Structure 1
């Protein structure tokens, strides 16, 4: 156990130390040394704890040693005299770390043992040791042992006073040399805090003579931290602190102070010693190191970002790096210029500027390189960088460049070339505008690294860009040249070769398709066609006739869908097998065919739109002029009827003519309905109930062999429509369906359903401009099993007066389309010849409400007195008949043929004019413009707008001024009087 303990202790002693360890570890080392010396009695073990330059003092004449050899020799003699282990008891030691490399151990211990001749006991033996760190080992550099009495049985010897005095003098001189030549300042102060001694370094630190230092009381200094630490030292404690020391009247200097007490022989504190270290140079070195670390960290950060970044982010990272590095160097501008592909111009592609600095990027775009001779040096690889701490001091050889920099207010500049693959691709640099700056060699060296990183990043970006462009080109070719190359042996009707692109078009691998019959990819119609032409083409080949063919076939994909292909065939005779072969190229033209079909449909839509637009303008113009003429006819007939009433005679001819005029007016309304410009007031109605209410009436008008069936997929859905118009449309659609069916038997189905907008077909949707906006629509479907509609006639179906039943027909479906257009709905049509047609009418949904809005109660209104009316109408006959009707009611009438004339009349007679009747459609100023100008002259004057168009259509849009009443042409005397009453109320 003892041996294990000794080995463990020795292992601990071999530990390496960079600085002085803790007091516990030091005491452990000292006890281990005592164990080796007094108990183990091992020279080898003792020597592990001793420094090479150890000094030692003892109580005997032979125990004053100045080096390790003398001490070991003395110890060997001692071991010969006392070979047996001794006993240590009542040990009492103290430890004090003086600094990171020196520590002191002192105290007392009792020693009991036996020599070769006698037993002995020494009480209160004094010991002290100085520990130092040498080569990372904790070693004893000085050891002192003394005891109060001689060993029993030994003859007393005289103390070698002289040798001790000489040794003491030598030691004092040695320590004085160390004291004076120490690289740190040392001061000694007494128990009152008065400086008694100091070395030269201490004087140098504070730049004061010795006479001003010696005798200075440290408690009197203004820096309270000094006094507190001196007081701590005099109380027996070691103190350590850092400060800027300027209390001695010198410049402030950063210092680090280690202060420790001085003990007398009887352990009394007689003062202290302080080690003062000037931290100015270390602080500068530390700041420089910190600066370099930050710089290197910045470079590392930029490098990592550029290495990991995708090419889309390189520009942003470069701009961030410019900002970061420019601020680091206190530069007001950081930038990158890149050379064009021809090496002729420089362009400022990236720039960072301080907030107060004007950017130069717009100025330096495609700047001629030959106008920058200094930069051309980079191009020629003549210089590694350009560095001008003072632009004003640039050499005359760079006068042009200097002038350019001064014009840009640059005071200092650093430029570094960017090279990629040894080629000059641009430059990277900094400008100082507000102050001058110089870059050190170390900084420039690291900035070269950044320039190289930028170069690599741009090279990577350009390379990847070129690669991507190349890949896109090849991808484009690969994706668009997907033709299948194949060879077919006609004699065995098997493929002998198929290119890999077959997988993209047909879904089969070449191996799969070569093992199958050719017919597996042909539709029945295509297979029949191929079987028909093979004999003919084979004969042509044998007879040296035509051998090249191009055709289109419908083929089948592996998943079953149909593909339209274009085949180019070259028929040859295989020179080896003598079999007929087809060398062919198959191209998928399905998409092309679809595009052609779309193009055809778009052209049809365009023609339909042009036709609808033309028809619309024509119908609108006809309706307008037709209504004006009807107004003249109806007005004259009413005047004639009034005259006959006054004379007491009534003519049936006049009454019939009036009724015919009203019928003609209804025809005009139908034309406006086709345009969606006429909508009678609607009501919220149950669509199923409306259809069911007309079912018997509709069935009566059908042949007995035709059946009409109504289903109720959505019986409760409601729509907002005018019932009379809806009934008229339903009758027309059912009549058309019946006429399309055979006279022998037919079934017409009516179904009502609620469907999602996504389910509404796009094909054959009318009106062409209709885009469903609601999520759901109510669909009224009318389906027959009649003769169907040819494809070329589908887009004519809703044209006014288009009919296959002869002249005088064809307004029914046109009117239905206008009705649906007016309510915001649409129609789809699907038809197959000899199988029937299906018309679907899509009505916008309305909220379910069982309550109809209550009719507004008629309140008695006070009617304004009216004597004089101004009539504004560009048609002379309409103006005349309106005047005649008004005069028949005893109104005074003024006429104006235009808006401008009306304004002149109103300006002159606005006090006499009580009401204005104004036509809507007039040249120069229309009715709305005239209304606004009238209100500017007479703000409160009542106005009636008259037009052949529907009121709802006319009132659409935003108008600053509104009329009091609307009068639809042709109007009779009753309608005219009602409009006047409404306007005056």
Structure 2
């Protein structure tokens, strides 16, 4: 197996090569050939190593083979003679390269083994020379030469295995002649006296001589001692080698050549001469010289590159100047320099320079020099030129006239400029000037100089980047130490902070050093820790799989003093290139204030929505009350008229009376809608709240289940309020009933407490009406009703006072709604607080007692004399209401004129104002409303008396400043008595 691997490795090494492989590979191949034949005894296996056009010589028996098949056949016959393994020992070989595709291996070895008859043999002095060439990219042996001394075998007449081929000597000689004449190298055979016995034409060509000139000339007469030693080595049974400049002894020619010599043995294994293989290496020497220069150039470039790559920031400028000196001296230039452009690529400045002592520096001259004046350099900015090179400045084109003049003024004879690029962007240039003599740079030099240019570009980029990093570090340090947010780096693998900015002390109370030594469990409450432990593995997997790496989240944390801190984390997950650990680069922001603002915004939005809802309900309730009262007015009026006509029929009179009472009841329901809006004015009473509550306790207990108790505590002595007595009783009744129902069937105690509280101490949360704001710097009497029910979720608290809202079944939900309307009517408020499973507390806030203000009186516009009313103008947009009013007034013997709206009334009044004694005007009408209509009528007659009619409450209607006031007000629905009373009031005010 190992042998097969070696063969495969050699075959792999020998395939697709452009040059002869290393000496080790050559020697390995050579020994494998010997092993294939001696150890494996497999001649056919040699084919993979040998060229099909192989030539071979066996000096001991004079055998010559000119093709591979003949050699394989000969060796196969030899195997029949010696079928057993032959041991090769004490071998020593040397490699000599003739050129890039040809090499020679020569040396000696010893063999021993047994013949097919079992006779042992040993030959301690065998020699072998092999020529290896690259043929179509594959390394193969193309010539073999073997020799040996006479075998020392146990039976004297036992031949050397190769001697069986002696009969083919003549054929072999012909083949040898063919090889000699067609060899690509010079071959000569000489005797022990140094005279040439045989040579080929290539030999004569290399030495520049002829057959006549070398006849009878001994090589021992040459003066080159090294060449003579190589020739004599073969005569002493050793291989010889020579390489040098050889002067021919027959012609005036000095030739660089390489020569390998090997001895020739006769049948008795005696040295009878030598063979020399000679190669003209003049072309090889030129190549070597060029290669040597190339190696020196590459070494210089490598040295420059290494120095720039390893340069620390503080030494980059000095190292770049040293690199300019090294490269300029190598090329024989007098000046080397680097120019850099400004960020806008408008000017260029000489930033680094080296020049010989007798050459002036150009740094002072070229600082912020306009690029527009350097057309050749300007081409670099457009990526239209790879380099700029002129061996002679005089040869520059006229289009570069200004640039050419600059160079001539600087005594420049030759110039090479190359751009400095970073990611394709022009950042400057570097170049060389020759001032003393002209010089040209070839393509290979320019190619390597591009590498130096890349190193200069990288160094400048590194310098800029380092400066930017230092500036960034300074800015980052300033920001991290002064901004309100906490900047931190967290190692996910070790679960420790690597960095925390000093802001952490102000927010959390810990110093950065303290937190970097502690586990994260210290500043995370259990819920947050569970959340973090849950998402860390998932985010780590996302990072490893190049998925999401950026996250923003809210997380509650703990300060050093144990307080809960609401924070927002911005996380960017990265891999630390030094440790390989996953790290989180994060920013922590204290969002406590933001949370408060968001809560305030939420409360404000909820209040806005509640206000909108309340406003909508108010508009709806007011509109319903108005239109409902109008319709009730029609019903009530018709019933009253009907009752007047059926006075004699007792049964009809009863039915009409019942219908009228029901209508009045409906009017009271309409009034309740206005009460919810706080628009129903009632008489206010001065009430001692504790006294009233004590008086009502017994009746309140009677309405409670036997399992429910009620207790009253008073914590404020001064608890006098201004409120309607009946409304306060309803508030107390509804609040206690609501508390009892909240406790259901289980035993419970309802707690009533009366106290006084400053306006600033009234909770802002769950305050009703939503738009109610206590008067600043005031105190309120408060009545709290606490139940022991199951509480109420936040989403239901805002609906508590909505009409018909109830959590206790259908057909309920107006009690607390009316209570809110009562409180709204006195500019009071209610707060509601609930604790799940512990109950709710309703607290009613009553403004402090204020003596009742005198109600605004209506101003009469008529003079103080007896008022006689005969004709009344009725202004009403509702036809049926207008008809009923007309009918009622006619029953009182008044003459009635009807107007369908305000404008109609004005037109009628213009025409008939002397006939009209009184105006009864509806408040809400299309076009001009009641107030506007009254104002226009008073312009025509300031003394005209008026009665204002409306389905709205009087207090609401009379609210506001109106220049013209009516003499009386009548609420819809009104009956004949109400109408008579309003007219009487007008007459009495006259």
TM-score (norm 1): 0.47
- Who wins on radius of gyration, i.e. which is larger? 2
